Amino acid sequence: MPPYQEIILELTQREQYLSMLVKIQKSLLDSSLTDNWYDYILPILGQTSLSSRASFYKNHLSETGELLTSHLGEWCAPNISSVKDNPILHNMSYESFSPYWLEHLKKDSSLVVPTIATPQKERELLESLQVVSFMLLPLMVNQQLFGFISLSDCHEIRVWSNVEIDMLWAAIASVSIYLERIQAEIAFRAINEKLQRLANLDGLTRIANRRKFDQHLNQEWRHMERIQAPLALILCDIDYFKLYNDTKGHQAGDECLQQVAQTLDNLIRRSSDLVARYGGEEFAIILSATPINRALQIAQIMKNAIEILQIPHPASEVSSYVTVSMGVSSLIPSHELSPKTLVARADAALYRAKTAGRNQIAI
């Protein structure tokens, strides 16, 4: 081939691959790609490189810690059969199948091999997939081998130009950067969710705190107002808790609060309901779509469950064990009322239970 034709060919290839890079960058900017990015990227890589098949393999660990790889996605040229359902290509062991591939890929180096030059075991598999030659491109994410992309030719031994290899590496670098960004975003969201959970939890009892109670009450108030259903609130106070602390000590007091809190929380089944620490020894239970008679039943169940704990309380004036007083209120939210109305009514009911002798439920 005359030199000028080689230059024209190289420029044409470079233009095609630059167009490929632009398409890949545009696809990776689409935030909806997260899990299935390869469904968009593999066709671009396969078509531009004139490959027969473009495949993505993702690495993962077995239960014993062995590094495996699995075929997750592919693009096939016309008249090329799919291999995505081939069971051999799932949970494939590098060590037992091709330790050479792993060694090469971990060096962040591409691997261009004609099938005929591979060891017998690898060659038999590649021939069963109709692969005559292939290129493996490692996907490194945060300096770890995340997986690889395979570009296969099913017709002839492929000779890749330097331009093609350089441009494919640029494409792989874009994918690696994208995957690193996705991992960072996932980690950031996980940290934020954890911080959010911690911000809404009482540090001692590990149930919802007052901040979460206020948020949830307002949320359920709006919800119940829309559907015109009753919203119930139970306020629960441990009887003579100050005397319990004075006689048993603050550590025992903390343990008592934890036991009571977890007992109450374990009795809640619906995600719309909430048990929160409302104050020092006071707890609040929000019950959505719950009329007063059902709220009273739930309060009685909770009161009985705390008595079953049989936490000794030598200073109590109503029992030998820890008991609670409860105030229960339920109403259908409206524009004329507010969440404070529900709280005030439950608080007034709790006051009546305490002034009537404690260890009881009032409405």
Please indicate, yes or no, if residue 202 is contained in any of the structural domains: no
- Is the pLDDT at 334 greater than 90, yes or no? yes
Task: State whether 142 and 33 are in the same domain.
Answer: yes
Average pLDDT over residues 70-96: 91
Is the residue at 146 inside a domain? Answer: yes
pTM: 0.62
Is the pLDDT at 244 greater than 90? The verdict is yes
DSSP string, 78-104: TT----TT-GGGSSEEHHHH-HHHHHH
Q: How far apart are CA 75 and CA 68, in angstroms?
A: 22
Nearest-angstrom CA–CA distance, 10 and 47: 17
Q: Burial code of 155-180, b = ≥16 C-beta within 10 A, e = fewer?
A: eeebebeebbeebbeebbebbbebbe
Residue 10 is predicted with a pLDDT of: 61
In a domain, 201, yes or no: no
The answer to whether position 280 is within a domain reads yes
Say yes or no: 185 and 216 in one domain.
no
Q: Is 183 found in the same domain as 221?
A: no
Out of 158, 193, 228, a domain closes at 193
* Nearest in space to 116 (alpha carbons), one of 157, 159, 160, 161: 157
Could you tell me if 183 and 219 lie in one domain?
A: no
Residue 12: C-alpha distances to residues 17, 54, 121, 160 (Å): 9, 22, 38, 15
For the chain, the average pLDDT equals: 90
Same domain, 270 and 356: yes
298 and 348, same domain (yes or no)? yes
Please tell me the predicted confidence (pLDDT) of residue 4.
Answer: 53
**Residue 66 resides in a domain:** yes
Query: Do 69 and 114 lie in a common domain?
Result: yes
The mean pLDDT of 103-115, rounded to a whole number, is 83
Give 16-60 pLDDT, tens digit per residue: 777 878 888 888 877 555 678 899 899 999 999 999 999 999 999
**Domain boundary pick from 193, 225, 249:** 193
Between residues 18 and 132, the one the model is more confident about = 132
pLDDT at position 330: 97
**Residue 200 is assigned to a structural domain of this protein:** no
Task: Tally the domains of the chain.
Answer: 2
Greater confidence (204 vs 107) lies with 204
Q: Report the C-alpha gap between 197 and 212 in whole angstroms.
A: 9
DSSP at 280: S
Quote the domain boundaries for residue 322: 210-362
Give pLDDT, residue 110.
81
Which residue in 54, 25, 52, 50 sits closest to 39, CA to CA?
54
CATH code where residue 240 lies: 3.30.70.270
Q: Is the pLDDT of residue 168 over 70?
A: yes
* pLDDT tens digits for range 135-161: 999 999 999 999 999 999 999 998 888
Residues 180 and 227 in one domain: no
- For the segment 171-227, what is each residue's pLDDT rounded down to a tens digit? 999 999 889 988 898 889 899 888 888 889 999 999 999 999 999 999 999 999 999
Between these two residues, 162 and 224, which has the higher pLDDT value?
224
Q: Give one DSSP letter per residue of 100-118, joined into a string.
A: HHHHHHHTT--EEEEGGGS
Return the structure tokens found at 358.
């404690």
Residue 96 clears pLDDT 90, i.e. is over it: no
Asked if 229 and 179 sit in the same domain, the reply is no
Do 172 and 294 lie in one domain? The reply is no
pLDDT at 135: 92
Q: Which of 193, 222, 255 is the last residue of a domain?
A: 193
Say what the pLDDT of residue 293 is: 96
Identify the helix (H) or strand (E) that includes residue 14.
Answer: helix 3-28
**CATH number of domain containing 47:** 3.30.450.40
Supply 333's token pair. Answer: 């939210």
Dihedrals phi, psi of 184, to nearest 5 degrees: -65, -40
Q: Do 230 and 174 reside in the same domain of the chain? A: no
Residue 95 annotated among the catalytic residues of the structure: no
Calpha distance 146→334 (Å, rounded): 55
Q: Do 64 and 186 reside in the same domain of the chain? A: yes
Q: Which of 74, 164, 220, 281 is catalytic?
A: 281
pLDDT value of position 9: 63
19-28, 54-63, 79-88, 332-341: least confidently modelled range: 19-28
Terminal CA-CA length for the chain: 97
Phi, psi of 153 (to 5 degrees): -115, 125
What is the tens place of the pLDDT at every residue in 253-300? 999 999 999 999 999 989 999 999 999 999 999 999 999 999 999 999
For residue 14, pLDDT beyond 80: no
